[in-house]
Structure 1
Amino acid sequence: MDFHTIARMASGASGAELANIINEAALRTVRNNRTIVTQADLEESIEVVIAGYQKKNAVLSDEERKIVSYHEVGHALVAALQTNSAPVQKITIIPRTSGALGYTMQVEQGDKYLMNKKEIENKIATFTGGRAAEEVVFNEITTGASNDIEQATKLARAMITRYGMTEEFDMVAMETVTNQYLGGDTSLSCSADTQKEIDKKVVELVKRQHEKAKKLLEDNRAKLDELAMYLYEKETITGDEFMRILNDGKGKAGEQA
Structure 2
Amino acid sequence: IDEIDTIGKKRDGGSNLGGNDEREQTLNQLLTEMDGFDATKGVVILAATNRPESLDPALTRPGRFDRRVPVELPDLKGRESILRLHAKKVKLGPDCDFGVVARMTPGASGAELANIVNEAALCAVRHHRKAVTQFDLQEAVDTILAGAQKKNKILNNKEKCIVSYHEVGHALVAALQTNSAPVQKITIVPRTSGALGFTMQVEDGDHTLMTKEEILNKIATLTGGRAAEELIFHSITTGASNDIEQATKLARALVTRYGMTEDFDMVALETVNNAYLGGDASLACSEQTAAQVDAKVVEIVQAEHKKAYQMLADNKRKLDEIAQYLYEKETISGEEFMRILNAQPQLPAGPSADSTNQAQ
Task: Give the alignment partner of residue 177 of structure 2, picking from 68, 82, 90.
Answer: 82
Q: What is the CA-CA distance between 1:59 and the residue it aligns to? A: 1.3
1:220–1:254 CA contact under 8 A, matched in 2: no
Counterpart amino acid of residue 21 in structure 1? I
> What residue number does 1:140 align with?
235
Which one of 309, 324, 327 corresponds to residue 232 of structure 1? 327
Aligned to 2:340: 245
Task: State the Cα distance separating 1:130 from its structure 2 match.
Answer: 0.2
- What TM-score do you get using the length of structure 2 for normalisation? 0.70
What is the letter of the counterpart of residue 108 of structure 2? A
The SS at the match of 1:37 is: coil
- In 2, the alpha carbon distance for the partners of 1:90 and 1:233 equals 15
Aligned to 1:120: 215
CA offsets per residue over residues 126-148 of structure 1, 9 Å max, x none? 00000000000000000000000
Distance 2:223 2:159 in 1: 19
| Count of residue pairs brought into register by the alignment | 257
Aligned residue identity for 2:163: V
> Whose Rg is larger?
2
Alignment partners' CA distance in 1, 2:292 and 2:193: 35
- 1: CA distance between counterparts of 2:330 and 2:261? 41
Shift of 1:251: 4.8
Q: Which position in structure 2 is the counterpart of 1:65?
A: 160
Q: TM-score, normalised by structure 1?
A: 0.98
Give the superposed CA RMSD.
1.0
* Percent of paired sites with the same residue: 68
- Structure 1 counterpart of 2:214, which letter? E
Q: Which residue of 2 aligns with 1:167?
A: 262
Q: Are positions 1:193 and 2:288 aligned together?
A: yes
More divergent stretch after superposition (194-203 vs 23-32)? 23-32
Name the SS of the counterpart of 2:336 in structure 1: helix
Say if 2:171 and 2:199, in contact at 8 Å, map to a contact too. yes
Runs of 4+ off more than 3 Å = 251-255
Residues 1:2 and 2:97 aligned together: yes
Following TM superposition, by how much is the alpha carbon of 1:199 offset from its aligned partner in structure 2, in angstroms?
A: 0.2
Q: Which segment is superposed worse, 6-15 or 125-134?
A: 6-15
Between 1 and 2, higher relative CO (CA 8 Å, sep ≥ 6) is seen in 1
SS at match of 1:166: coil
SS in structure 2 of the partner of residue 156 of structure 1: helix
Of 156-165 and 105-114, deviating more is: 105-114
2:315–2:347 contact (8 Å) kept in structure 1: no
Q: Which runs of 5+ in 2 are unaligned?
A: 1-95
Per the alignment, in what secondary structure is the counterpart of residue 90 of structure 1? strand
Moved more, 31-40 or 117-126: 31-40
For residue 155 of structure 1, what is the aligned residue in structure 2? 250
1:67, 1:183 → 2: CA distance? 33
Distance 1:34 1:74 in 2: 36
The one-letter code of the counterpart of 2:157 is D
C-alpha separation between the residues in 2 aligned to 1:90 and 1:110? 17
Q: Distance in 1 between matches of 2:172 and 2:198?
A: 13
2:308 maps to which of 202, 210, 213: 213
1:183, CA displacement in angstroms? 2.4
Q: Which amino acid aligns with 1:103?
A: F
1:254 Cα offset (Å): 4.0
